[in-house]
Chain A
């Protein structure tokens, strides 16, 4: 790969973000820890009755994972803004949308993928039947990148502001309603022994669309937010 080519740029950025995440691996554990804590609170609040927990397990795990991703999203551009790396990224002679796509991918791998790994454990703690777990994993594999992509656009919009945590949640909620509905719909269908492919297919279609459009929207949003 020749230095300065688009593929070299993507590779360098991808390696940089993974290296940085590895050097701060404590941060990777935070969303997972958060998800574990929130999930363990539910049996304490609702009682340990197995039938009740099994009924709510899908929704609880999905919403918990969503909140954990929301928690991690703020770090997507935060350090790059603070140390000026984002300016360097924006001035690079490369398609910004592609670079941001690489950043979102690296962020998803370090922040969301560990959540998918622990999700079956959390679901089992809530007595989710084993035959529903594949539907849960399929829903998460499609829903989490979708949330990362949508969230990245909104994080980019708040890049020029100071306080953004609560605002980000407010902005993301309307966008994640359909994602939650279809992901939870797939799990609920699996729990009732019905075919759950249709909502998964909808999620897949939305993800394909978001993969193309979200990085471009993210680039446009970032240029607006940095225009001051």
Chain B
């Protein structure tokens, strides 16, 4: 079992630590994310959840500890195209429609087999709002439009920073359903949340950050 697991480790962190102004923000932490894993990053406000997310995107650099992607060092070249990130800022252009936003994402990241912009907008519950400028959508609908991007692009690893914020009960259920389907396809996801999450299906792995 362990041997089979270590064969498909996607992301591995060894003694990963981050310091800002020589003050430790979090760490050292160790974890391994396999294909099919959904990992919940837990911690109080200021415990470094978003910081860890930014490190995992590759935008933020840390000198302490090791980060490995599929057995190779964690660099832009090795992670290119494998990771998609949804942060506090949704990365949507407010003057464009949801469909136009997805066309840009498709151009930049490519398209998952069998996915198309209209189809993924329907599956996040935005049917009928495809051509509405994003600025006229509600906060929850904007979030759904951003979630649609995850379904459209072929990335295997989803990094979701507070995906449940601004969502109603249906929306939360939607995120859980998308995560479940993604895991079943052999994808992996790291999710931060400071609230209690009722994750449907299997119990997620937990990565605990101490403040």
Do A and B touch each other in the complex, judged by CB within 8 A?
A: yes
Where the two chains meet, the residues of A that have a C-beta atom closer than 8 Å to any C-beta of B are 2-5, 8-9, 11-13, 16, 19-20, 23-24, 79, 82-85, 87-94, 99, 223, 226-228
Q: Assuming A19-B100, A84-B90, A85-B93, is B108 touching A13 (CB within 8 A)?
A: yes
Decide if B91 touches A83 in the complex (CB within 8 Å). yes
Please report the C-alpha to C-alpha distance between residue A13 and residue B96 in the assembled complex, in whole angstroms. Answer: 13
Please report the C-alpha to C-alpha distance between residue A8 and residue B153 in the assembled complex, in whole angstroms. Answer: 14
Q: Kindly provide the distance from the CB of B175 to the nearest chain A CB, expressed in whole angstroms.
A: 18
Partner of A9 from B83, B84, B107 at Cβ < 8 Å: B107
Q: Kindly provide the distance from the CB of B97 to the nearest chain A CB, expressed in whole angstroms.
A: 10
Q: Collect the chain A residues with CB atoms within 8 Å of residue B43's CB.
A: none
Please report the C-alpha to C-alpha distance between residue A92 and residue B80 in the assembled complex, in whole angstroms. Answer: 7
Looking across the interface, which residue of chain A has its beta carbon closest to that of B61? A227
Q: Mark B59-89, 1 if CB is under 8 A from A, else 0.
A: 1110000000000000000001101110111
Q: Mark B130-150, 1 if CB is under 8 A from A, else 0.
A: 000000000000000000000
Decide if B87 touches A84 in the complex (CB within 8 Å). yes
Please report the C-alpha to C-alpha distance between residue A20 and residue B92 in the assembled complex, in whole angstroms. Answer: 12
Q: Kindly provide the distance from the CB of A215 to the nearest chain B CB, expressed in whole angstroms.
A: 16
Q: Collect the chain B residues with CB atoms within 8 Å of residue A2's CB.
A: 110
Q: Assuming A3-B106, A93-B109, is B89 touching A20 (CB within 8 A)?
A: no
Q: Mark B102-115, 1 if CB is under 8 A from A, else 0.
A: 01111111110000
Decide if B108 touches A20 in the complex (CB within 8 Å). no
Q: Is B94 an interface residue when CB atoms closer than 8 A count as contact?
A: yes
Please report the C-alpha to C-alpha distance between residue A24 and residue B96 in the assembled complex, in whole angstroms. Answer: 11
Looking across the interface, which residue of chain B has its beta carbon closest to that of A226? B59
Q: Collect the chain B residues with CB atoms within 8 Å of residue A84's CB.
A: 87-92
Decide if A12 touches B104 in the complex (CB within 8 Å). yes
Q: Collect the chain B residues with CB atoms within 8 Å of residue A89's CB.
A: 108
Q: Collect the chain B residues with CB atoms within 8 Å of residue A3's CB.
A: 106-107, 110-111
Please indicate which of the listed interface residues A2, A19, A20, A87 has the most CB atoms of chain B within 10 Å of its own CB: A87
Q: Collect the chain A residues with CB atoms within 8 Å of residue B111's CB.
A: 3-4
Q: Kindly provide the distance from the CB of B205 to the nearest chain A CB, expressed in whole angstroms.
A: 23
Decide if A91 touches B59 in the complex (CB within 8 Å). yes
